[in-house]
Structure 1
Amino acid sequence: MKNRQSSRRSNQDAGATRRVALATLSGTVLEGYDFFVYGTTSALIFNSQFFPSLSPTAGTLAAFSTFAVGFAARPVGGLVFGHFGDRVGRKATLVVSLLMMGIATTLIGLVPNFAVIGVWAPILLVLLRFVQGIALGGEMAGATLLSMEHAPDGRKNLFAGFPQMGTPAGLVLANVVILTTGAVMPDSAFNAWGWRIPFLLSAVLVVVGLFVRLRVAESPSFEAAVSRDHVVARPLAEALKVGFPRLTVTLFAAVASGAVGYVFMVFSLSYGTSTVGFDRQFLVLCVTAAAAVWCCLIPFWTTVADRFGRRRMFLAGSVALLVAGCAFLPLMDSGSRAVTLVAFLLMGLVMPITHSVQGAIIADTFPVHVRYSGSSIVMQTGAIIGGGLAPMIALALQDATGSSLGVTFYVALISLVSLVAAVFMFRMPPVSLAEPAPLPDREPENQAV
């Protein structure tokens, strides 16, 4: 009888753990979809819809500027959601972030263009993009923690990797919808109004995400911290006590993944169409194929990390990212479709090696009771440095040099910085994850969230 009850309880626990993995994955997929629908459209459409008075290059640069606004907002989301995530729980904050992202994305699909409302069109676009950034700033760290803190023994990297799959999976979903929409209507119709359809579909997708996410349990680590009275009034200030050197090397170890990723996911679309001469559908298909490979390989690399450790894997992946990033645009410059497809698939093979475990690495930098705040600020600051500015910097360098050479140098430099930072990061002694002693008396200020 006891064995049967134990087996039933074990099956129930395994089912609950799988639900958490599915919930965190589905949520980050939907938020990734929303974010990348904007990124792809900004590279292909927004210059003519919202900045028609500018030259093609200036209009694309302005469109990429609105794309970067989302990254500027992400630390704000990290601060706000990190604070509440450490104070009231991971689950509630993730529900709010999903709602914010879905509503903002749907409204972007309804914003009139410049021809209809003039300067208010780009202003509204920027405001809604800012809301998107706040939502995503609270999502990734929280989803990683919720999944990782439910992980069975010995599978922490695997479960922390499920939310990381949301980035490439969301990109695949976004591009499939964009490709399908573009295939069923003339280019003129897609450029005029068809681009809005992928944004409006977010309203349907967010309902699915909420249904899954509302069924999961709160993080057991957070519940344990609450039960032992380890909730602190200012979690970010407490998280920063791990020290500036560790925060710095952890931050810069992760920036190459974002920079190289957004060069190949976003900048390549405008560069490939305007400079190399490829058609839009071919490039979107290449990005989609690369993202699918990237997504499928994340469980493999996180399993390797759980079994053999992540230090050597991360360092080797950083070297591979440096090499692949330097080769990417020169391969595109060949003008060959076959060679260009190989270049994209190479990025899909290399990206997941470091990206799959960097969420767990960042989370392990901080004690449990302040982990949401600490992880959020590191992830989102890294996203600005590595991701948000990458398309703008790449376009400016390409325009200044008249070739891809400046962009390739930029990719090489930031990849080298990340590699050196990772070497120093892994040489540091492990941070103590001890939680504070229970507070003897709760101060009145501690009652406020």
Structure 2
Amino acid sequence: MDTHSRMVDTTHQGMPRKAAFSSAMGSVLEWLDFTAYGVVSATVFPKLFFPTLDPNSALLASFATFGVGFFARPAGGVLFGLLGDRIGRKQVLMITFLLMGFSSLLIGLMPPYAVIGIWAPILIVALRFMQGFALGGEATGAQLFTMEHAPADKRGLFGSFINLAAPASQVLANGLLFAIAATMSELQFESFGWRIPFLLSIFLIVLGAYIRTRVTETPAFKALKERQSQIRSNEQEKSDRKNWPTIIRLILFWAAPCTCYYVVTVFSISYLGSQNDLPKQTIFLCLMAANAVAVCLTLAGGYASDQFGRKPALITAALVVLAVMPFYFSIMNTGNALFVFAAMSLVVGAIQAQSGILPAFFAEQFPTSSRYSGSALAYTGANLIFAGPTPFVATWVMHESRGGTYWLTAICMALIVISFAALLASPETRYVDINAPE
């Protein structure tokens, strides 16, 4: 082998790691601001942007703006998914990254209702929509970018690095807000402290853009472009239509994990503060520690799926959520920080173990020509229908039941059963060749 060939081979061997690192870092930075919005929507946004409403209505309105990000994600997933299947994964990921960064920066600069009146909530909703629109393309694109670069026998592990973003962003966001809240008065935090994570987006933009220029387009997409002239458009349309049963099944599978995740990481913040009067710092610390545990379990889930198969690992994690969720709010009601941390860790950890398997499991369900758009529709569709409305619906259900948690628990349990059935109906995809000709 000549010197040039050895250099090309070495570069190719190192590219999967570069792809995984760039996708994971970019996703963590993007999810940080998306997550920080969820935290502040449960704490300071009702006062700053909806001061004319009573406290419960203000909280509902604030959670409604949180849900807007999820309603935008399918639109972003569809548009960027179609673009990603046509112009490439790498170019689309750069666009989504810059869009997320600038919208988050503008949220940090947004004046409150007291300064600009009704324009404050209107602009917050618009910027939240932009956040969700960008993340709709980013979430799936980063997963596929890594999956299509990864070695066939390590797709689960490599994919799990991408979905470290959600728990890692929870650790960073809650850790940062915990530190800010601990060093500022309530008035200072509500005035400018909450803005700090969003203003840091300027560093997100610079660092993320640099990281993503260091990797090449995926081998699967390059091979697709070489074959594409041989694929007739009508044959492609038939293939796309065949994907819809798979998309619906995956939406139903992800219904419970995404719903329960936001019950714990967003709704629990306001619930604990109102029902048990736990200090903000304690709540942030419990959630931060639980997500630190979840980071480890995300990697464990991906690794286990490579060793034992996607479905056995997913089923095991689902059974943990099924066992804990009926008692979750009873544990919250104790007001004991250690018990709260343990319950959060079990639920979020099990869900993140599933999330670590999700990139491989979703990518292996679709052909290369529709993998981005199909995966994006399934993932963002589940978040639109189930995750986005979760804080709003949970708050409304709690209000209607006068503080009781029975109906909210019943909803979570029903979704867990539906998700479990969809999972059992899914094929095992551990040995699927995602680079095979279609």
Same fold (TM over 0.5): yes
- Contact kept? 1:106, 1:199, Cα under 8 Å: yes
Residue pair 1:52, 1:59 contacting (<8 A) in 2 also? yes
Structure 2 Cα separation of the partners of residues 240 and 400 of structure 1 = 43
Percent identity (aligned) = 36
Per the TM alignment, residue 240 of structure 1 is displaced from its structure 2 partner at its CA by 3.7
In the other structure, the counterpart of 2:258 is 258
Task: Supply the distance in 1 between the matched residues of 2:85 and 2:8 (Cα, whole angstroms).
Answer: 29
Question: 1:334 aligns to what?
Answer: 334
- 1:81 deviation in Å? 0.3
Provide the residue aligned with 1:14 in structure 2: 13
Q: Following the alignment from structure 2 to structure 1, what is the Cα–Cα distance between the partners of residues 205 and 111? A: 23
**Partner AA of 1:167 in structure 2:** A
Q: Is the 1:83–1:236 contact (alpha carbons within 8 Å) kept by the matching residues of 2?
A: no
User: Does the 8 A contact of 1:369 with 1:435 survive in 2?
Assistant: no
Matched letter for residue 177 of structure 2? I
Instruction: Tell me how far 1:209 sits from its aligned partner.
Output: 1.1
TM norm structure 1 = 0.91
Unpaired runs of 5+ in structure 1?
A: 437-449
Does the 8 Å CA contact 1:235/1:373 hold for their aligned counterparts?
A: no
Partner of 1:415: 416
> How many positions carry a matched residue from both structures?
435
Cα RMSD of the aligned pairs, angstroms, is 2.4
Partner of 2:107: 108
- Structure 2 portions without partners, runs of 5+: none
Bigger shift: residues 384-393 or 260-269: 384-393
> Is 1:126 matched up with 2:129?
no
Q: What is the distance in 1 between the residues matched to 2:428 and 2:351?
A: 23
- State the Cα distance separating 1:14 from its structure 2 match: 3.3
Cα distance change, pair 102–342 in 1 and its aligned pair in 2 (3 A) = same
Residue deviations 1:69-102 (CA, integer Å, cap 9, x gap): 0000001101110011011000000001010000
Structure 1 counterpart of 2:189, which letter?
F
Contact 2:332 2:339 in 1 (8 A): yes
Q: Is the 8 A contact 2:264 2:348 kept in 1?
A: no
1:53 counterpart residue number: 52
Deviation of 1:56 (Å): 1.1
Name the aligned partner's letter for residue 53 of structure 2: L
Q: Which moved more, 1:14-23 or 1:231-240?
A: 231-240
CA contact (8 A) 1:239 1:374 kept: no
2:426 corresponds to which letter in structure 1? Answer: M
Structure 2: how far apart are the matches of 1:163 and 1:234? 34
**SS in structure 2 at match of 1:334:** coil
1:439 maps to: none
Aligned counterpart, 1:30: 29
Map 1:40-439 to 2 at 5 A: 40-229=39-228, 240-401=240-401, 402-426=403-427, 435=437
The SS at the match of 2:340 is: helix
The letter for the 1-side match of 2:425 is F
Q: What is the rounded CA distance, in whole Å, between the counterparts of 1:303 and 1:6 in structure 2? A: 32
Cα distance, 1:359 vs. partner?
2.4
Q: Cα–Cα, structure 1 residues 222 and 259, in superposed 2: closer, same or farther, change >3 Å?
A: same
- Displacement after TM superposition at 1:431 (Å): 9.3
Distance in 1 of aligned mates of 2:250 and 2:35: 25
**One-letter amino acid of the structure 2 residue matched with residue 414 of structure 1:** L
Q: Structure 1 residue 308: deviation in Å?
A: 1.4
Give the residue type in structure 2 aligned to 1:423: L
Q: Does the CA-based 8 Å contact 1:259-1:387 persist in structure 2?
A: yes
Measured after TM superposition, the shift of residue 236 of structure 1 is 9.3
Matched-pair contact (CA < 8 Å) for 1:257–1:386: no
Superposition deviation, residue 3 in structure 1: 10
Check whether the contact 1:238–1:370 (CA below 8 A) recurs between aligned residues: no
Is the CA contact 2:286–2:337 (under 8 Å) kept in the aligned structure 1?
A: no
Deviation at 1:348, TM superposition (A): 3.6
